[in-house]
């Protein structure tokens, strides 16, 4: 009963506060829509929650909405910086916190592209940005429940209020229709682990948002096919293009062998690429990294294999180097450089405190990015190896170096906001590796969009 009284009290407070604030911005109306959508998700899960829990969740969201909207009254119209820019003492001359809409977004003309070509778009910081996300939280059916923080009950929307800003240039805002035109008649494939799936889902949802008729987006492969074969394909029918995800967490092949006792066990074939159903794609985005930190990989005992030989022991750095060289040799031998553009997404930072995912590590309660570059985690050893391997390849590879930009964002992970069937207990596993969607991966795709503009403004025809 007390919780329902709390809910009614907050509702009354909100009804007094909100009307005088909502007229200030279309973005505020957007966030009101998010609130109403959140109430819908709460109502659909009513049978899974007690009345008291439902009332408390509703009251929390109402309180957050009132506080959130009220906060805009104190936001200045320019030079607002959330993550400290040590170069300019938080004075940003080219990015402001005023509301932007697609109508006044930065155009991707020749001057902008020329500016981008001489700029390190991966060196920058996160700034406050009062514009709607690339797609409405909870609206895209292709976001895994594990990444759908809004649906799973996260009550703060602060993680969607930041935009990546390079220090030395402006990047064009993601333009879904423009990118679909660039992809017309083409195939884009993401190959890698679940962080690449994070990016794939973000791109699909961002492009879907630009469609006039969203029914013209079709599943080429089923979700069951993804679960059994690790392959998911979507087709944008009006543009005759497909965007696929292929699960390949190591890029090289996991293998099952029988030892002398006829016991089947897994090994990792460092000399064999996993699958090759994508060699004729127009754009391929690879990644790998997180699975190389798992226990069996890190220990390297009787796990790494070349030919018929299984190593009793191999350091993970040596194994990772061998695997990447196998990948690089395969790309150089199988990719038509005149037809296919190759990207490699760097290591996406995790933010576990007091342990890792399986030892009590947590990131719950984080609502702001890291504000000081000196507090960022060291540059991952894997990426130094990757850079060395790429530098020796014949095939041009555009390195999407997202490591630094993700290192700041300790606030953007699902943490405890997991699917509702997972009990929220003090000892539950928290997800501090993947990212809420919408969220940080949307800006990986904005950088991918910028990179495609840099590399030629339009993709080669399939003639």
The distance of Cα 10 from the centroid of its chain, to the nearest Å, equals 34
Find the angle CA(123)-CA(126)-CA(130) to the nearest 5 degrees.
140
Q: Which residues are catalytic?
A: 194, 431, 434
Structure-token pair, residue 84: 């400290």
d(CA 352, CA 406): 13
Asked if residue 71 lies in contact with residue 16, where contact means CB atoms within 8 angstroms, the answer is no
Burial code (b: 16+ CB inside 10 Å, e: under 16) for 112-147 equals: bbebbeebebbebbbbbbbbbbbbbbbbbebbeebb
């Amino acid at each position: 009963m007390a919780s329902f009284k709390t809910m009614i009290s907050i509702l009354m407070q909100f009804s007094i506060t909100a009307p005088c604030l909502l007229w200030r911005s279309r973005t505020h109306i957007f966030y009101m829509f998010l609130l109403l959508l959140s109430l819908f998700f709460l109502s659909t899960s009513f049978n899974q929650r007690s009345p008291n829990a439902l009332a408390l969740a509703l009251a929390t969201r109402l309180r957050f909405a009132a506080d959130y909207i009220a906060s805009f009254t104190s936001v200045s119209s320019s030079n607002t910086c959330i993550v400290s820019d040590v170069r300019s003492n938080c004075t940003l001359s080219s990015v402001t916190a005023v509301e932007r809409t697609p109508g006044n977004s930065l155009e991707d003309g020749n001057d902008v592209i020329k500016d981008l070509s001489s700029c390190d778009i991966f060196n920058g910081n996160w700034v406050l940005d009062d514009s709607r996300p690339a797609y409405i939280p909870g609206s895209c059916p292709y976001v895994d429940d594990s990444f759908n923080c809004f649906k799973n009950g996260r009550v703060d929307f602060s993680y969607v209020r930041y935009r990546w800003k390079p220090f030395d240039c402006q990047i064009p805002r993601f333009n879904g229709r423009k990118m679909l035109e660039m992809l017309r008649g083409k195939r884009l494939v993401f190959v890698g682990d679940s962080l690449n799936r994070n990016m794939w889902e973000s791109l699909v949802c961002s492009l879907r948002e630009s469609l006039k008729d969203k029914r013209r987006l079709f599943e080429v492969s089923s979700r069951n096919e993804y679960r059994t074969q690790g392959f998911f394909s979507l087709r944008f029918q009006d543009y005759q293009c497909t965007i696929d995800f292929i699960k390949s967490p190591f890029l090289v092949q996991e293998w099952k062998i029988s030892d002398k006792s006829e016991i089947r066990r897994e090994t990792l074939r460092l000399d064999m690429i996993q699958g090759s159903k994508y060699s004729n794609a127009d754009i391929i985005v690879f990644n790998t990294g997180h699975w190389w930190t798992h226990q069996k990989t890190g220990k390297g005992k009787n796990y790494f294999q070349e030919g018929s030989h299984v190593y009793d022991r191999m350091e993970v750095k040596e194994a990772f180097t061998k695997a990447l060289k196998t990948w690089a040799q395969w790309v150089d031998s199988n990719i038509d450089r005149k037809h296919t553009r190759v990207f490699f997404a760097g290591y996406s930072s995790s933010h576990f405190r007091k342990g890792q995912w399986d030892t009590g590590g947590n990131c719950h309660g984080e609502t702001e990015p890291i504000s000081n570059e000196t507090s960022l985690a060291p540059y991952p050893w894997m990426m130094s190896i990757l850079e060395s391997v790429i530098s020796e390849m014949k095939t041009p590879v555009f390195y999407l170096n997202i490591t630094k930009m993700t290192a700041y964002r300790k606030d953007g992970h699902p943490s405890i906001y997991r699917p509702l069937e997972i009990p929220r207990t003090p000892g539950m596993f928290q997800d501090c590796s993947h990212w809420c969607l919408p969220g940080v991966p949307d800006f990986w795709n904005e950088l991918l969009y910028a990179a495609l503009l840099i590399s030629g403004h339009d993709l080669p025809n399939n003639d």
